[in-house]
Amino acid sequence: EDKVVQSPLSLVVHEGDTVTLNCSYEVTNFRSLLWYKQEKKAPTFLFMLTSSGIEKKSGRLSSILDKKELFSILNITATQTGDSAVYLCAVVRPIIQGAQKLVFGQGTRLTINP
Amino acid sequence: NAGVMQNPRHLVRRRGQEARLRCSPMKGHSHVYWYRQLPEEGLKFMVYLQKENIIDESGMPKERFSAEFPKEGPSILRIQQVVRGDSAAYFCASSRLLETQYFGPGTRLLVL
């Protein structure tokens, strides 16, 4: 059965700290891995990772994928209170007729205290 | 370019009633996915639809739940005879073929 596991489940840090969120997976026919940020509403897309070892970067956020060890990390440097959210990792799994579905981890709840 | 639209945003039903959740995909997207998020859990895939076709419903409970995506109009997720365990956030996502899925704001269903 497909499995995506995130750790830690919850993390509380002070503003300015750097955090690393982890995501490991066991999925048949892996295609790519996505990170989403979920505040009180819709998950918003952060990154798509397809190739091993290539870092994706957007401002203070960066992410990398290791397809050999089956995990990804999401780094946030110089955290701000606006980074407080649930961060979701999802693996793209192909389904029939060329489409795909997402298999999500349970999320990491990140709280940034001022 | 409007994003994925879902309505209602909040829905309260009594046990045994029906719940209808609507999703309008982004313009140009013909693939719709429904996910359910139980409290303190990640999103779980329910069903994937294209226009007038259910492609994969492997995540949908076998009873009481149904989904459609008609030629005209939004996709509908229908839950008949709701029970307390159906209380959750239901998210719809849309995409073009093999591209990133974009999520709507969700419908929060509360069953009393």
| Chain segment A70-107, per-residue pLDDT in tens | 999 999 999 999 999 999 999 988 877 667 889 999 99
Q: Which CA distances in Å does A42 have to A114, B9, B81, B100?
A: 25, 11, 26, 14
Of A41, A45, A90, the CB nearest to B105: A41
A84 in helix, strand or coil? coil
* Pure H helices in A1-114: none
Q: What CA–CA distance (Å, rounded) separates B78 from B92?
A: 13
Q: What one-character DSSP code corresponds to residue A9?
A: S
Tens of each residue's pLDDT in chain B, 112 residues: 579 999 999 999 999 999 999 999 999 898 999 999 988 788 999 999 998 899 899 999 989 999 999 988 999 999 999 999 999 999 999 988 777 889 999 999 999 9
Of B56, B91, B102, the CB nearest to A45: B102
Q: Does B101 touch chain A (CB under 8 A)?
A: yes
